[in-house]
Each structure stands twice: as structure tokens, then as C-alpha cells.
């Protein structure tokens, strides 16, 4: 056995020599959905710097934390947040059990497809819809409800499942970072348990790396079996100044790279890029009215104004979707 | 290059053939600090079942989540929770800036080492001490305070740093599980930011896999730089029925193995072992008055009574520290 042990490093060396060209060939294909240009160069330069052993910018793999907003950064958010469209479908499905909703706002507006009145109900109305559609069941039941909806519901414009409305260039980015030792997290204003049923399959991000807004849950014994019941009370809002708070609470260390698309991501970008050493901030700017949507300073959903101004002074990369991305969605590759 | 590619699987095969005996030899040494007996057999049988490909109990690596309580499960909790001893040291260090504490309880009791009065101040007094010692600074500052304390403070009985008062058999267990594809998490009633500065170094558990109790934090800009300030308000208590809630919030899937030592871990054990498929629950029973401490049903710290009763019917393994563990602390190995 001693001889065998001695041979291990020799064979290992041989293996690496043989495998190296294969490895290099694969590396050529990182970020295949990105056009060459400043954005792609900037991310490749950053990843190169933090992974170069002995380099001035080297970051230990354990510290290679990258955080991604979800709505408008990893998937689309028009005509409205997909979670709101889920809430609307859910209210409609539950309506037979709630005859009072026929005359009660904002439910009446939902049932009558009265978008104007619904929009006028504001944040208060939105919270009422979320509480009515997202709480009262166990966590296991809610996971099943979301899973079923994602499997059947279709986006109004593209007539495809919502999970196909993800950005291929960002899927490339997630994979590229993970291939370089990064741990990728979602940090979204959206509901944590609305995202978890699909993030592993769609983004390769496991549930324990998803941070989001949440309601309170309560432990109970039902028929001798423990359950967690979703209560109609807000626990944590993971948006704006809540994002760095959520990052510290869930991850416990400062990310070195942050990816967002709206003013809701401003504080996350500030917190991430204010750390010591090499840091990277990126904003997805929605500029493609043909393949996706074009919006920024005046949009109600995904408003991008202050973060766009600060990007200049802070050196954050602003991605021009129309110019920088070869394709938007995976189904457009064919 | 084509020939090189063809050779890769051949060399890989050769490598595994050569490395196999080395690997097997290492496997013989899992759980070296555990005496042979029921406890060790039970954990080895469980790990064998969930990792056996094609077996009835096989669990995909992504689902191999194991959760560990900290106080009394991974390190000692006598004569008091180490975090309380930290709070006491901190109150003493801050006393010169707070002359009012000389006459104000529970601070007066701390400064006069009046344990009786301190104990009588109950949970209310404890929270006052924690708020006074754990809040008001930034998260970065608090991390430094904890790190400095851990580097200098000594346990009153063993005269060693608190981080040496960890259980060697549980360090074996953490490593053994990770070697078998498990992801190990801490789920503690203790403060999340009190634990994170040492868990990676001491337990091999990174900060993002630590769940605990926490206070609120607030994002602020100070001199143009973002900080997170620790506020004197409770955010989440990760104890008893709060443990399954914390697990769902942070991990988002049900663990398949849970390790605890007190009634504070009862609901975590119930939640974990009520899931489908192979499950494992373990309670560390403090039975060794010579090498550590012996306590259970009547102890104020780490009371173990209801969980001990339920262990029988639920099939949870109850570790007898005196009988099952060859050594308690790493420094006793020499």
C-alpha cells in the first residue's frame, strides 16, 4: 500500500496535465449570452482579480458571497410583480368561499379585473391581498399551492410559465460565479416562501440561500403532528434599507458582489461595495422595449432613479439590456 | 488533444483504484472519541442508510440538513450560559461610563458579584443586561468586541478560553456528517452575532449556517459610509417553539437530523423527526459530574425533562456522556 500511496501525487499531476486543455476550452464559454463590451469585461476582470492566488485582490472562497435581487434582476417584473399576479389568481380561486369579497375592496377590484381601482388601493390594498392569499395555511400547504400555480399559470404577454421569464445572461452569470467559487444568494423584496419552491431548479440556488420578505409563522401540534402555520402578520420586509439588514441577519458577512435593478437595491449595493478590498456592484437597466420592457425613473414597478445616479460616482456597472444581452430569455436562444 | 481527452477516464479510474485504500483507512476513524455502543451504532446506521445509493432510505445530498443546538450540545453551559458571562464582563467593562449602575438593578448585582440578586432578577433582568451589553454599537464593532472577549476571557473552572470548552465527540460528529454530504447548521437560543465570530473556526460552520436569537438592526449612513446599528429591541427568539420557525425561515427545508440537550430543543426534535423518510434525533444527556457536569430535570440552565420523556416514544438517541464519550474536551485528548 505504501507504493500505491506514493503514486497518488504522480497520477494526480498526470490527470491535471491531461484535463487542463478540456478545462480551458470550457472557460472560453463563460457568459455566452453576453455581448462583448464594458459590462462583460468588468465582471470578468473582477472575477479574475478575486480568484487570482497571490494577487492583490484575492478573496478566500468562503468570503466570495454574491447577492442577487430577483424581480427585474433575475426574472421579469412586468406587467406587475409575478407574486402579485399569483395573489390575484389565488383571490379568484378562493372567492367562492368568500362571498363578502364581491362588495369589499380591494377584493372586488380583483374579481372584476378593475386594475385602476386596484392600483388606487395602494400599499394597504396590496398587503390585504397578500394576507388573504398567502396566510392561514401551513408552510407545507403553501409550498404546494405555489408549486401548482407555477406549473400551470402563464404570463399574460409571453403565454409561457413565469419561470421561463428568467434572464439567460443572468443564469450565465450565476453559473460563472459559482464556477469560480462564489456562493450565490437571492436577496429580494418578494416573499421568501414564494421564491423557494423554484429557485433551486431555475437558478441553482437552494432554499437556504434565499432571503426575502416574510410573514410570521407559528409552531403548532395538529393531531399529534407538528405544523408551521402562516399568520397574517408581517415579520420582515426585505426591501431598500431592509436588504442590508436581511443580508447581515441571514448571511452574517458582507457580500463582495451585488446585482440589482431598482432603487429597492440601492442600500444593498451601498452596503456591499463599501466593504474593504475588491467589490462589485451591477445594475440591470431595462432598455429593451422590443424583447422585454424599457423603464426606469418613472416606472411604478422597479423604479430606477437614485441608484442610477449613484452608479456613476460609485463605479457600479450599468447593464444596457438591449446592447449587452444577446438574448433575454432561454426560449429565445433557439 | 483528442487522445488526451480519451485518457482522462482511464487515469481517473487508476487514481481511484490507488486512492481507495487510503480513503477506506480514513473512514475507519470516524467518531474516534465515541465509545462503541448503542449511540454510536445508531448514528452510523442512520448515516449509512441515507447515503446508500439505491437503498430504501437514500436521501439526496441537498436534503441532508443536520441542525445542532449550541449551549450544552456543542459546548458547555455551566456555571451559566457563556453569553451571560460575556454580558457580565461587558457590564463591568462599561461601568465607568455608567455611574448610575452602582445603585440600579440588575447592574448593581453584576458589579457586586451578587449572584443571588442577579438570579432573582429573572428573565426581565437578563434582557436588561443583554440590551445594555449587546446593543448601541454597529455590527462590525460588536463582532470585534466578541472576538476580543473570546481571545482573552477564561472559563472560571477550567481556566481556558471558552472556545476550548467544546465537545470533541460532537466535533467528530460534525465532521463525520459533512464527510457524508451533510450540511451542518447551528440552531441556538443564543445570540446569532455572539456565535458567528467563532463557529467557522471552532466547528467548521460558516456564519450563513448559524441561526440564533437576534435583536433588531438598522441601516444608517454615517459620514457617507453605510453601517448597521444594533438596536435595543428583540427581533426573534430562536428557542423552544421558535426553533422550527427559525429553521423554516433560514433554511426553508426540514432537517433530517437534529441534535439537542434540553427542553429548549424539544420542538426542533419533533419537527425534524416528524418528516417523511429516515430521520434522526439525538439528545446529549449530561451525566458526567467528574469530567463535565451532571444535570437534567432540576437544572435551571439546560433543563431536560419533557424531551427526555419523549425520547423513549419517539426513538431519539439519548447520549450518556459519561458512558458514551471517551473524552469531553479536545484538551483532554493529550
Tell me the per-residue pLDDT of B139-198, one tens digit each, with 9 for 90 and over. Answer: 999 999 999 999 999 999 999 999 999 999 999 999 999 999 999 999 999 999 999 999
Nearest C-alpha neighbor of B72 from the set B237, B294, B244: B294
Contacts of B214 in chain A (CB under 8 A): 249
**In the beta sheet, which residues pair with residue B210?**
B186
Q: Is A1's CB within 8 Å of B21's CB?
A: yes
The SS3 assignment for B159 reads coil
Q: Is A208's CB within 8 Å of B1's CB?
A: no
Asked if A19 is an interface residue toward chain B (Cβ–Cβ < 8 A), one would say: yes
State residue A153's pLDDT score.
Answer: 98
In the DSSP assignment, the letter for residue A287 is B
Nearest C-alpha neighbor of B39 from the set B277, B330, B284, B294: B284
Tell me how far CA of residue A229 lies from CA of A137, A157, A196, A216, A265, in angstroms. 6, 35, 17, 9, 30
Gap from B284 CA to chain A (nearest CA, Å) = 22
- pLDDT: is B300 or A206 the higher one? A206
Asked if B12 is an interface residue toward chain A (Cβ–Cβ < 8 A), one would say: yes
The mean pLDDT of chain A is: 93
pTM, full prediction: 0.91
State residue B13's pLDDT score.
Answer: 58
Neighbours of B192 (CB within 10 A): 25
Q: Is A200's CB within 8 Å of B14's CB?
A: no
In the DSSP assignment, the letter for residue B186 is E
Cα angle B153-B126-B206, degrees, rounded to a multiple of 5: 55
Contacts of B198 in chain A (CB under 8 A): none
C-alpha A52/C-alpha A29 separation (Å) is 19
ipTM of the complex as predicted: 0.90
Asked if B24 is an interface residue toward chain A (Cβ–Cβ < 8 A), one would say: no
pLDDT digits (tens, 9 = 90+) for A176-188: 999 999 999 999 9
Inform me whether the pLDDT recorded for B17 exceeds 80.
Answer: no
Contact B265, B287 (CB under 8 A): no
C-alpha B170/C-alpha B203 separation (Å) is 9
State residue B318's pLDDT score.
Answer: 98
Q: Which of A8, A14, A235 lies nearest to residue B19, judging by beta carbons? A: A8
Q: Is A196's CB within 8 Å of B22's CB?
A: no
Asked if B252 is an interface residue toward chain A (Cβ–Cβ < 8 A), one would say: yes
Inform me whether the pLDDT recorded for A311 exceeds 50.
Answer: yes
Nearest C-alpha neighbor of A69 from the set A234, A233, A255: A255
Asked if B250 is an interface residue toward chain A (Cβ–Cβ < 8 A), one would say: yes
C-alpha B214/C-alpha B192 separation (Å) is 6
Across A112-209, the runs of DSSP E, i.e. the strands, are 183-191
Amino acid at each position: 500500500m505504501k507504493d500505491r500511496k506514493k503514486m497518488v501525487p504522480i497520477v494526480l499531476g498526470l490527470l491535471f496535465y491531461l484535463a487542463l486543455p478540456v478545462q480551458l476550452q470550457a472557460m472560453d464559454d463563460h457568459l455566452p449570452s453576453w455581448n462583448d463590451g464594458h459590462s462583460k469585461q468588468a465582471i470578468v476582470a473582477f472575477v479574475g482579480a478575486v480568484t487570482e492566488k497571490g494577487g492583490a485582490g484575492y478573496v478566500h472562497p468562503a468570503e466570495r458571497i454574491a447577492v442577487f435581487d430577483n424581480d427585474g434582476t433575475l426574472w421579469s417584473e412586468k406587467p406587475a410583480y409575478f407574486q402579485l399576479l399569483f395573489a390575484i389568481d389565488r383571490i379568484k380561486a378562493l372567492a367562492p368561499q368568500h362571498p363578502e369579497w364581491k362588495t369589499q375592496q380591494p377584493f372586488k377590484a380583483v374579481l372584476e379585473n378593475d386594475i385602476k381601482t386596484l392600483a388606487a388601493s395602494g400599499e394597504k390594498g396590496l398587503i390585504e391581498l397578500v394576507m388573504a392569499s398567502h396566510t392561514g395555511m401551513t408552510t407545507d400547504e403553501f409550498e404546494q399551492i405555489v408549486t401548482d400555480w407555477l406549473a400551470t399559470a402563464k404570463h399574460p404577454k409571453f403565454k409561457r410559465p413565469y419561470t421561463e421569464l428568467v434572464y439567460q445572461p443572468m443564469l450565465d452569470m450565476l453559473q460563472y460565479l459559482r464556477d469560480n467559487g462564489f456562493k450565490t444568494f437571492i436577496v429580494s423584496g418578494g416573499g421568501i416562501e414564494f421564491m423557494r419552491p423554484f429557485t433551486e431548479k431555475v437558478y441553482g440556488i437552494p432554499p437556504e440561500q434565499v432571503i426575502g420578505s416574510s410573514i410570521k409563522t407559528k409552531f403548532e401540534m395538529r393531531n399529534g403532528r407538528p405544523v408551521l402555520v402562516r399568520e397574517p402578520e408581517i415579520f420582515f420586509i426585505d426591501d431598500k434599507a431592509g436588504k442590508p439588514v436581511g443580508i447581515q441577519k441571514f448571511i452574517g458577512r458582507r457580500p463582495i458582489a451585488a446585482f440589482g435593478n431598482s432603487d429597492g437595491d440601492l442600500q444593498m449595493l451601498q452596503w456591499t461595495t463599501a466593504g474593504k478590498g475588491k467589490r462589485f456592484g451591477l445594475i440591470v437597466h431595462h432598455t429593451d422595449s422590443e424583447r422585454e420592457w424599457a423603464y426606469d425613473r418613472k416606472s411604478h414597478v422597479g423604479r430606477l432613479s437614485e441608484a442610477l445616479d449613484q452608479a456613476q460616482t460609485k463605479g457600479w456597472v450599468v447593464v444596457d439590456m438591449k446592447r449587452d444581452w444577446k438574448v433575454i430569455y432561454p426560449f429565445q436562444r433557439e
